[in-house]
């Protein structure tokens, strides 16, 4: 019989293994877990042969996390930890998830490997067949504002992508409303460069990315099907998303400007009220007063998602709304949300380690 | 009888007066005019009482333009110059334009004062009645790609706004096409901070604007009616524009991401061909190969407008296109375009001083 | 009889009043105090007539600190709080400090008003006579690594300036050593723009400060006499400092590159050992391994000071050393250090609220 | 008999071959040469096997330089060109220089290969023996303000490094003066990231370099012996330089803060006068008024070097001076200076193509 992950965490700290410590999401996870009151970081797994010392990679952790990483030895991990946080690249995560689950661990995967329920879409966008259909089916999409109930006690969580988090939180109150939403949602998003990861590439080379705004992967970005799948699921209708991402010269932050048509004339105050009600009680979504636009700086280095909206017009039986959402791509868009998910899974206070 | 401005410039350099030398567009105009082969900068007018030395304001001009500015004395200006370039604030330009025209000068106005043909729209957006209806009627909108013929020999040119330049150049080939364009054009634009001018304000204070993306003036920006008026004029149909500007942490550059629906299924290659044909022979518009996205860095410190496009989809008798255009907001979006206009007006080579 | 500030904080949270909530140090203090386990923020005082709501000024605090500020009413403050943190401008602090002390509060002043023991130097650099000589004499300079003993139980703390913190921590181990230090210390420092405060000024206007490095106040900066006074005090010899500050296009961080001559040939390893010993047990100073240079990014958003050093040469009976120190100017350089001081004063763990 | 390079350029444009077109100095050379009135770019040589089209690498050149590059075929180069500009890496340049000279071309080399007259120093810093001693001896160091006479008619020019240009121009008026200069010059320099080249590396990855200042290669940077050699040569005494470079988050620009001791009490006005006289008539050095500090932004995108100075103190028979110089590292620090050198070599106006 599998052990219950929650039984281990009563009265004691949850023991967490972290896979992937050399990227930005790994760094952020370490920073959060070091100050999380109910968690102990017991295993730091690296895929690198030389097994680096964490603070040699990230000098900002010196004196706070000077451990040498250990190899990916799943038995050792199972011995040391109850929960596994996977900050691994796409395609790599799914090599380890089945065995981690088998060994009784709760798994929170920050890669895309368990986000898309439709394996054929996964294969089309990630170039490999998905080989773990069983776990794919049980994975919970880790957006707490929409899937909070499913997350409690989940065994496998697919932590959402950064762009989908921002876009879905902006669009969901409309897509889930009684108003007739035109099925085409346009997402014009702007991201900081840390969203591209820590591997040096020309596009992210400072003199190339600095002082420039550039659209990229227009209409073909991997986060587009993720947005469509989740919005269609929660909206209970087919929602098509047109997604145009842009690279912006800043470290972190995503601003999603989302355009939605309603097939009805709706007042701005009603829309605002809809958003406030939809997110009432959610600790990390802040709906701004009408007319107030969020800046990414308002949420940088926090787990918040700030949302502002404006009805551009309402006429001839239709309404055009723009919703603007801002998150920190590494926190609410990745590592912060992973810990928020973990808190829900393990029954900790939702905000533990995050405020 | 009024003197012809062109008669003065045959066989000699055109004598240019510059009004407004303490802002960024003034600086850029000086930089361009100093290297323009057919122009002499003969009058630098300042509204400031202390009449600053130009290179004290802009140390980068030291040794190149060390003149003390002169007061706004229109008779002296008329004596010294054939052409007046007005880098003045809105509402201020129109105080001087009539008298400059009366004195026989050719006027290129970089403010918004002569851009909107409909004086009531002007009053609504700029808060004052327009008091110079006669000149407003004869003013030519200085977008050379669309109004090149009218510009030749014009007496008063309204140099376009930065956002409208980027947005109109992106949308015009579709709006002017035979394809049935849905009348709602969405313009999601991103600007560098120099677009906000040189007066210190909290929004443009470095620690506020840096490391942040922020939408502002959503649905109420003054450049929206300008886009609508021009696109409606050239498209010969009513075009409504939804305009959402964003402030981005960089010095200069505008990236306009424009979304247009066509009421017909059109192939991407046909759209690409349409753009290439539309801008054939235009020296400052570069249509990028299909699938190639422009970055603002590609056009920074130049007068170019780079355009890339993508058909997001074509189905059910409709097509959704996104067109991305990049300009330097201070050059093609202001001072460079003003000189390009001047070149056309005076019969100089279109690119003089600009490459 | 004056009440003891420490008696109030046993078994209960210390009640803290904050003066000055509209600047960056005020914001950082609020952020730290909100997560400090032993502190309650009971009074938010503003000098502004309209008494702003804190989260209207700083949207990032929305949902976390939505209180309206109160006027500066010292009796009300004394009723509500045991400790006053003053994030006020120079010259303003000293108007309130005497009365706060009289009312029994412990005062931590982030301005320069109580940093310079020599009132004539204060007057020369700040343009006003110092009118509170008695309290000036008892004020403790809040650099815990050097004045930790004096801080325990202090009534009035002068929290150091940002530049002095970085420079003094870099130079002190040499100045306090047995090695004969040539009395001229050169401090070439680079600061992020938040060091200039939150009031918009041309020098800090984004398009001016961005993409530029600029020295300023060379040889006349107010932090120079502060460095000289403290280094002379702790080194027990007269130390002259040549200070050249530079503005660098980033939000936060100071990198001080300090050049010191020793009148003796000393090996690099000995110097390194000296630094490691000097800062042994100090929770917020991290001496980097020999040859390792600190970056401001390594300490951004933390209270750490990272120090690296290099002996440039040792010959002819002399040694030239460069010491590089990095801090976050708003944390270890201001608000973090103020809380670190407060922790020492009140007997809290030194790192409370800060890690 | 070798042909005279100057005989080819009378009455016709000089034909220039450019080696190395995929880096930032190559791009800048193309930009300058395209607007140079007396030069024709006749050969674009690439070391890359696929022989890229220039405007595919740099979209900003589209429509201005769309040529496909050619292989490094020295006979073809000699046929096509009179002058070779080498924007190649260190160690690579010296493989081609001898053969280019043999074929009668004038060579301007932007690498370090011919900068250090002492081959043993070259070997120590660049890790390879210098194999071209003969040409090394005849190479002229391309700093026009110091070696203008030698440059006229030179056959081989070693274009200076970016840091040395800034530092030497700051220090030379003192080192070459009659004042007794203490032999230790301290150079604390700050560079934009383009100085690190165009190859992606972690140190130059946007999220690493942005929002950070970092010293690097302290006391071991390759530009240090170059500064020492040139200052010793022009000062006719041995000058030791302590050089601490810092990486700063901006595209381009170097600010060198240079500290020099004089063994005499000298008034600030005398020093200022010395600088003004030293650079009188030099078109690209601008000595700022006393007390005025240069910012890198004042010279960005220009070939100027702006210099400001301040006597920090004068006492006990000594004076300490700080001199601050600002250049654009890619222009006066590389490509602009190379063209300035070429203008001198070929007898063109010194500023041709550069203003």
Contact flag D288-B59 (C-beta cutoff 8 Å): yes
CATH code of the domain containing B38: 3.40.50.720
Which 43-102 residues of chain C touch chain D by CB within 8 A?
none
Question: What confidence score (pLDDT) does residue D291 get?
Answer: 86
Mean pLDDT of A219-233: 94
Q: What is the pLDDT of residues C287-342, one digit of tens each?
A: 999 989 999 999 999 999 999 999 999 999 999 999 999 999 999 999 999 999 99
Tell me the two tokens of residue C319.
Answer: 């040694």
Q: What is the pLDDT of residues C15-34, one digit of tens each?
A: 999 999 999 999 999 999 99
The answer, yes or no, to whether residue D300 has pLDDT greater than 60, is yes
B308 has a chain D CB within 8 A of its CB: no
Reported confidence tier of residue C255, pLDDT bands at 50, 70, 90 = very high
From D162, D176, D293, D305, active-site residue: D162
Residue A240: strand, helix, or coil: strand
Q: For residue D43, how many C-alpha atoms fall within 13 Å in the half-sphere facing its CB? A: 24
CATH code of the domain containing A241: 3.30.360.10
Same domain, C245 and C105: no
B261/B239 Cα distance (integer angstroms) = 12
Give me the sheet containing A254-262, strands edge to edge. A214-215, A240-247, A184-191, A254-262, A318-327, A305-315, A285-287
Same domain, B169 and B318: yes
Question: What confidence score (pLDDT) does residue B66 get?
Answer: 96
Q: What is the pLDDT of residues D13-24, one digit of tens each?
A: 999 999 999 999
Q: Given A24, A200, A250, which is nearest D202 (Cβ)?
A: A200
Range of the domain at C27: 6-159+334-346
Question: What confidence score (pLDDT) does residue C219 get?
Answer: 87
Q: Render the burial of A79-104: b for 16+ CB within 10 Å, e for the rest.
A: ebbbbbbbbbbbebbbebbeebbebe
Question: What confidence score (pLDDT) does residue D278 get?
Answer: 98
CB within 8 Å of C264: residues ≥ 6 apart = C179, C180, C317, C318, C319
Residue B16: strand, helix, or coil: strand
All residues of chain A having their beta carbon less than 8 Å from the beta carbon of residue C288 are 59, 62
Residues C193, D233 contacting (CB under 8 angstroms): no
CB within 8 Å of D156: residues ≥ 6 apart = D97, D101, D106, D107, D109, D114, D135, D138, D139, D140
From A162, A176, A293, A305, active-site residue: A162
Question: What confidence score (pLDDT) does residue C11 get?
Answer: 59
The answer, yes or no, to whether residue C8 has pLDDT greater than 80, is no
Q: Tokens 């109160």 identify what position?
A: C70
D115 occurs within a structural domain: yes
CB within 8 Å of B235: residues ≥ 6 apart = B172, B175, B176, B181
A2 occurs within a structural domain: no
Same domain, B29 and B103: yes
Residue A156: strand, helix, or coil: strand
Question: What confidence score (pLDDT) does residue B12 get?
Answer: 83
Pairing of strands A214-215, A240-247: antiparallel
Same domain, A126 and A184: no
D298 has a chain B CB within 8 A of its CB: yes
C197 occurs within a structural domain: yes
Question: What confidence score (pLDDT) does residue C142 get?
Answer: 98
Residues of chain B with pLDDT under 70: 1-11
Same domain, C152 and C181: no
A286/C61 Cα distance (integer angstroms) = 11
Reported confidence tier of residue A36, pLDDT bands at 50, 70, 90 = very high
User: In chain B, whose CA is at the least distance from the CA of D32?
Assistant: B355
User: In chain A, whose CA is at the least distance from the CA of B194?
Assistant: A211
The distance of C6 to chain B (nearest Cα, Å) reads 37
Residue (of C112, C65, C107) closest to C86 by Cα position: C107
A354 occurs within a structural domain: no
Same domain, B10 and B142: yes
C208 has a chain D CB within 8 A of its CB: yes
The distance of B285 to chain C (nearest Cα, Å) reads 26
Contact flag D206-A205 (C-beta cutoff 8 Å): yes
All residues of chain A having their beta carbon less than 8 Å from the beta carbon of residue C193 are none
Q: Given B213, B244, B313, which is nearest A295 (Cβ)?
A: B213
Residues of B classed as catalytic: 162
Q: Given B207, B210, B249, which is nearest C24 (Cβ)?
A: B207
B232/D189 Cα distance (integer angstroms) = 54
Residues B320, A261 contacting (CB under 8 angstroms): no
Per DSSP, the residues of B279-312 read: TTT-TTEEEPPTTPPP-GGGTTTSS-EEEEEEEE
Contact flag D201-A201 (C-beta cutoff 8 Å): no
C1 occurs within a structural domain: no
C206 has a chain D CB within 8 A of its CB: no
B351 occurs within a structural domain: no
Reported confidence tier of residue D184, pLDDT bands at 50, 70, 90 = confident
Q: What is the pTM of this model?
A: 0.96
User: In chain B, whose CA is at the least distance from the CA of D60?
Assistant: B298
Question: What backbone torsions phi and psi does residue B119 show, to the nearest 5 degrees?
Answer: -60, -25
Per DSSP, the residues of B21-49 read: -SSHHHHHHHHHHHH-TTEEEEEEE--ST
CB within 8 Å of B179: residues ≥ 6 apart = B262, B263, B264, B266, B319
Same domain, B92 and B180: no
Q: Given A219, A248, A320, which is nearest B248 (Cβ)?
A: A248
Same domain, C113 and C13: yes
How many pairs of residues across C and D have Cβ atoms under 8 Å apart? Answer: 134
Same domain, A244 and A295: yes
From the candidates B190, B213, B301, B326, which should be mutated to test the interface with A, based on the most A CB atoms within 10 A?
B213
Residue C255: strand, helix, or coil: strand
Question: Please, what is the Cα angle at A19 between A18 and A24, to 5 degrees?
Answer: 90
Same domain, B210 and B297: yes
In order of A112, A252, D206, the CA distances from A247 in angstroms are: 20, 11, 11
Mean pLDDT of D74-81: 97
Tell me the two tokens of residue D118.
Answer: 């002492």
D354 occurs within a structural domain: no
Residue B149: strand, helix, or coil: helix
Q: What is the pLDDT of residues A293-328, one digit of tens each?
A: 999 999 999 999 999 999 999 999 999 999 999 999
Contact flag A193-D202 (C-beta cutoff 8 Å): no
Domain total in chain C: 2
From the candidates D24, D56, D57, D205, which should be mutated to test the interface with A, based on the most A CB atoms within 10 A?
D205
Contact flag B249-C24 (C-beta cutoff 8 Å): no
Bridge partners (DSSP) of residue C86 are C19, C109
The answer, yes or no, to whether residue D162 has pLDDT greater than 50, is yes
The answer, yes or no, to whether residue C52 has pLDDT greater than 80, is yes
B353 occurs within a structural domain: no
Q: What is the pLDDT of residues C96-129, one digit of tens each?
A: 999 999 999 999 999 999 999 999 999 999 999 9
Query: Can C162 be counted among the known catalytic residues?
Result: yes
Contact flag A242-B214 (C-beta cutoff 8 Å): no
Q: Given C184, C218, C255, which is nearest D322 (Cβ)?
A: C218
B259 has a chain A CB within 8 A of its CB: yes
The answer, yes or no, to whether residue A2 has pLDDT greater than 70, is no
Which 19-38 residues of chain B touch chain C by CB within 8 A?
24
The distance of B201 to chain C (nearest Cα, Å) reads 5
- Provide the greatest CA pair distance for chain C: 65
Helix (H) or strand (E) holding D124: helix D119-126
Residues A14, A83 contacting (CB under 8 angstroms): yes
User: Cβ atoms within 10 A of the Cβ of B113, count?
Assistant: 28
How many pairs of residues across A and B have Cβ atoms under 8 Å apart? Answer: 134
Reported confidence tier of residue A11, pLDDT bands at 50, 70, 90 = low
Contact flag C59-A35 (C-beta cutoff 8 Å): no
Contact flag B286-D64 (C-beta cutoff 8 Å): no
Same domain, B142 and B232: no
Q: What is the pLDDT of residues A112-143, one digit of tens each?
A: 999 999 999 999 999 999 989 999 999 999 99
Chains in contact with B via at least 3 Cβ–Cβ pairs below 8 Å: A, C, D
**What ipTM was reported for this prediction?**
0.95
The distance of C119 to chain A (nearest Cα, Å) reads 39
Contact flag A242-B215 (C-beta cutoff 8 Å): no
Question: What confidence score (pLDDT) does residue D7 get?
Answer: 41
Same domain, D216 and D116: no
Per DSSP, the residues of B158-194 read: EPPPHHHHHHHHHHHHHHTSSS-B-SEEEEEEEE-GG
């Amino acid at each position: 019989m599998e052990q219950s992950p929650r039984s281990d965490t009563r009265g004691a700290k949850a023991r967490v293994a972290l896979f992937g410590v050399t990227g930005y999401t790994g760094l952020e996870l370490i920073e959060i877990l070091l100050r999380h009151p109910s968690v102990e970081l017991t295993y730091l797994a690296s895929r690198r042969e030389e097994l680096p010392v964490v603070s040699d990679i990230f000098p900002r952790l010196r004196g706070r996390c000077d451990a040498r990483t250990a190899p990916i030895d799943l038995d050792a991990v199972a011995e040391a930890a109850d929960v596994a946080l996977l900050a691994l690249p796409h395609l790599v995560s799914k090599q380890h998830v089945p065995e981690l689950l088998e060994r009784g661990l709760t798994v929170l995967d920050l890669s895309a490997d368990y986000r898309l329920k439709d394996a054929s879409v996964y294969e089309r966008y990630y170039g490999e067949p998905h080989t773990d259909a069983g776990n794919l089916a049980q994975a919970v999409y880790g957006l707490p504002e929409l899937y909070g109930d499913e997350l409690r006690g989940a065994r496998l969580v697919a932590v959402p992508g950064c762009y989908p988090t921002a876009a879905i939180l902006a669009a969901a109150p409309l897509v889930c409303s009684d108003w007739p939403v035109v099925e085409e949602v346009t997402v014009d998003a702007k991201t900081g460069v840390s969203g591209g990861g820590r591997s040096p590439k020309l596009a992210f080379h400072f003199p190339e990315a600095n002082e420039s705004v550039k659209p990229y992967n227009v209409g073909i970005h991997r986060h587009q099907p993720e947005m469509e799948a989740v919005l269609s699921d929660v909206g209970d209708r087919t929602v098509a998303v047109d997604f145009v991402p842009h690279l912006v010269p800043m470290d972190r932050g995503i601003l999603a400007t989302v355009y939605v048509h309603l097939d009805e004339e709706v007042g701005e105050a009603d829309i605002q009220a809809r958003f406030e009600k939809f997110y009432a009680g959610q600790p990390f979504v802040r709906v701004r007063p009408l007319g107030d636009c969020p800046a990414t700086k308002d949420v940088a280095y926090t787990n918040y998602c700030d949302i502002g909206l404006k009805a551009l017009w309402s006429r001839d039986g239709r309404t055009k709304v723009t919703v603007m959402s801002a998150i920190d791509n590494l926190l609410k868009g990745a590592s912060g949300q992973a810990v928020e998910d973990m808190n829900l899974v393990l029954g900790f206070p939702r905000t533990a380690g995050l405020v």
